[in-house]
Chains A and B, each alone.
Chain A
């Protein structure tokens, strides 16, 4: 007893460290649901975070507007040039719209997507260290959100739900290094293994004989992982072929501008 009295602090810290190491071990594989107290804390802090998030975005936009004032004249000239170019392209565009409509009906994209039920959600906060790799949204199990649900925007794939509490959820975005899934090249039907990369880009790996090229669009394959099929992932911007390697590496630009994320859709 005397020993415990003399080393009370050491014993206490030892116990706490032990409990935390146990916590790390138990949650290292990810958790489907958080506990009730965690949900309560997330909900409480989430509403405050939302105010800060929107205010910060507003301040940032205002700051960008002020910074842009000096370059407005040159930008205006550039835009006028673009306008002339766009006018000449208008005829082609209308043809393409018609073509696009026909392709859509052929592929029955609309019917395929209509089977999903969506939940809309807003971003509450972002991981302070990892940026948009992991972010918190204002929908949880009370809204029918479940683990591994696909998170999208109309432009394409955003990520998947990795942890759910009663009124908030954490989303692992596709740019995170721990995010791995299968995609397919729309033009060649080659399968691509995709993982996150730095600078809001994606890295993909394809068979060395694949005829994939810059400009190709990649969608989710729906074969493995938790993502639904045929959701646009992004566009190939570079194909890297290394001597002696069995695979080609492709750099993919995500269809969604993750750094400007505000509202998302969750596929139920």
Chain B
């Protein structure tokens, strides 16, 4: 439900309220946090469900984001559990992994379907402001989620 709420926010509120067109990718941030908390066997469902919902609600081709988010959260979980542990730095280091994975997959699929914009224009969307904004929001959300998790309110152990 939190992921769906974030997806709706990104399609409505952040379309009007953004900083030079940049806004936090709350869905990806939350998926990275879930990927840090859970192993891949438990986390993939979150990526799959929100991906399917995104494809249904806003996508023109069914499966692009379902595939992208599922692969991304599995990659984040796997790297998180094998390389980093559940430390404060791990989501900050795994967010770039998630960003590169989801956007590469989506771009490749769109490219194969001849729906892609030129690659240099696509990369231009990920400027300094994108990283500052998303990593800042990620740090806040991770602290919040971790506290709620430790209290047994959200994303139970």
Query: In whole Å, how far is A178's beta carbon from the nearest beta carbon of chain B?
Result: 6
Q: What's the Cα separation between A59 and B11 when bound, in Å?
A: 15
Segment with Cβ contacts to B, from A34-42, A105-113, A202-210, A226-234 = A34-42
Q: What's the Cα separation between A31 and B126 when bound, in Å?
A: 31
Q: Which are the 8 A-B pairs with shortest beta-carbon distances?
A: A23-B63, A60-B16, A52-B12, A20-B63, A24-B63, A125-B11, A128-B10, A56-B13
A42 touches B56 (CB 8 A): yes
Number of A-B contacts (CB under 8 A): 100
B71: A residues at CB distance < 8 A: 17
Q: B57 at the A/B interface (Cβ < 8 Å)?
A: yes
A27: B residues at CB distance < 8 A: 60-63
Q: Which of B13, B48, B62 contacts A23 (CB 8 A)?
A: B62
A85: B residues at CB distance < 8 A: none
Which DSSP category, helix, strand, loop or mixed, fits chain B's interface?
A: helix
B40 touches A198 (CB 8 A): no
For the A-B complex with A24-B109, A30-B60 known, give 19 more contacts whose Cβ atoms are closer than 8 Å.
A13-B70, A22-B63, A23-B63, A26-B62, A27-B61, A31-B62, A41-B53, A45-B53, A45-B57, A56-B16, A59-B13, A59-B17, A63-B17, A127-B11, A128-B15, A136-B57, A163-B60, A177-B117, A178-B115
Q: What's the Cα separation between A16 and B48 when bound, in Å?
A: 9
Q: What's the Cα separation between A31 and B113 when bound, in Å?
A: 15
Q: B44 at the A/B interface (Cβ < 8 Å)?
A: yes
**Which residues of B, 48-107, contact A by the 8 Å Cβ criterion?**
48, 53-54, 56-58, 60-64, 66-67, 70-71, 74
Q: A194 at the A/B interface (Cβ < 8 Å)?
A: no
Q: What's the Cα separation between A9 and B45 when bound, in Å?
A: 12
Asked, given contacts A41-B56, A60-B17, whether A9 binds B11 with beta carbons under 8 Å apart, the answer is no
Tell me the count of chain A residues lying within 8 A, CB to CB, of chain B.
44
B109: A residues at CB distance < 8 A: 24
Chain A residue at minimal CB-CB distance from B57: A45
Interface size class of B (residues with CB under 8 A): 35 or more
Q: A248 at the A/B interface (Cβ < 8 Å)?
A: no
Asked, given contacts A9-B41, A34-B56, A178-B115, whether A52 binds B62 with beta carbons under 8 Å apart, the answer is no
Q: B29 at the A/B interface (Cβ < 8 Å)?
A: no
Query: In whole Å, how far is B43's beta carbon from the nearest beta carbon of chain A?
Result: 11
A136 touches B58 (CB 8 A): yes
Query: In whole Å, how far is B1's beta carbon from the nearest beta carbon of chain A?
Result: 11
Chain A residue at minimal CB-CB distance from B116: A177
Q: A144 at the A/B interface (Cβ < 8 Å)?
A: no
Q: A185 at the A/B interface (Cβ < 8 Å)?
A: no
Q: A119 at the A/B interface (Cβ < 8 Å)?
A: no
A126 touches B60 (CB 8 A): no
A163: B residues at CB distance < 8 A: 60
